[in-house]
Amino acid sequence: MDNTEQEQLTGLGATGLLLVILLLSVLNPGVVVATSFLWLVVIFGMTRWIGLGMAVVAGTIVMFIPGTGELWYLERSWSVLLAGCFVTITMMFPSAVFFNRALGSLCVMLIMVGVFFASNFQYWYIMDGIMNQNIMNNITRSLLMFSDVDSDLMASEVFRDRAMELAGYQFRFFPALLALSSLASMAVAWWGYVGLSGKGLRNLKGLNQFKFNDHLVWCLIVGLLVVFWDFSDGWSRIGENLVVFMTALYVMRGMAVVFVTTGMLFFGKMSLFLGLILLGPLLLLIAFVIGLSDIWFDYRNRVRILKKSNQ
């Protein structure tokens, strides 16, 4: 949520979040968004007909889109529990900013999932296998689609090896990717509900206002210590996913700093996005360093002070 005097998330920003969901999601990207929106409508109400119509669409996505086997139930279970946590925390802490409520929902889910898997590790191996199979199926479908477009490209062993390598990374880091896509999904659902409900609720801040508690840097430090200490493969994987999750948040924070300090308009932001595609690793590293150092230097506040002093 946001104060009215601050820039709020626009439709373009919400579209960007949807793109993030599509890129990061290891499950059906529409299910978490639809489930969260439906929970918000059921619990907090909806007075506008267009909002009720969107709720019907969301319910259709959640319940009536066919799926296959265990994955269908896994997607719905995660989505329903996560949305329930988000709605509950929103009722308990209505004045809290969106990111804190969404992150709190993920923490509650982590506790519940951790207790569930700790009761029987066999459940984790079953879910791990389901996710691995889903990722491989997605990669196979993508390769088949590319083969219809460019058969010569598909004949390249290098391309196929890179695709399999990408699948390996996606499988290794799917908990972090699931957490990131879930954050983005809850953001889109909240943005849509606030816009359609007409209740005058405070909406999300724009990306250039993205910031979170500085003490979360300890999560990054703990993740790095677990990775470098190398207790076991299981613990290393937990540390790696924690590092990936926090790194992504600091990259977003770094991008927000760049938007504010450079005064980027729409075309500047689009150029940065294209640059991330073409020069991904380098720009991501720069954005991460900026976002991490913002803890100590608070660049955006310095820019605001300079602007006031020049007026």
Q: What is the pTM of this model?
A: 0.87
Q: State both tokens at 225.
A: 């210590």
Identify whether the C-beta of residue 188 lies closer than 8 Å to the C-beta of residue 31: no
Question: Domain residues of the chain, as ranges?
Answer: 1-205, 208-311
d(CA 154, CA 145): 10
Say whether 279 sits in a helix, a strand or coil.
coil
Q: Are 44 and 198 in contact (CB under 8 A)?
A: no
Which carries the bigger pLDDT value, residue 136 or residue 7? Answer: 136
How many other C-beta atoms lie within 10 A of the C-beta of residue 80?
Answer: 17
Let me know: does 210 contact 16? Beta carbons within 8 Å: no
pLDDT, one tens digit per residue, over 290-299 is 999 999 999 9
**277, pLDDT greater than 60:** no
- Can you give the pLDDT at residue 274? 60
SS3 of residue 222 by DSSP: helix
Q: CA separation (Å) from 230 to 56, 78, 117, 222?
A: 48, 29, 21, 12
What is the rounded average pLDDT of the residues 24-40? 88
Q: 145 versus 91: which is more confidently predicted?
A: 91
Give residue-wise pLDDT tens across range 43-99: 999 988 998 999 999 999 888 777 667 888 888 999 999 999 999 999 999 889 999
Measured CA to CA, the distance from residue 177 to residue 248 in angstroms comes to 10
Compute how many other C-beta atoms are within 10 angstroms of the C-beta atom of residue 98.
22
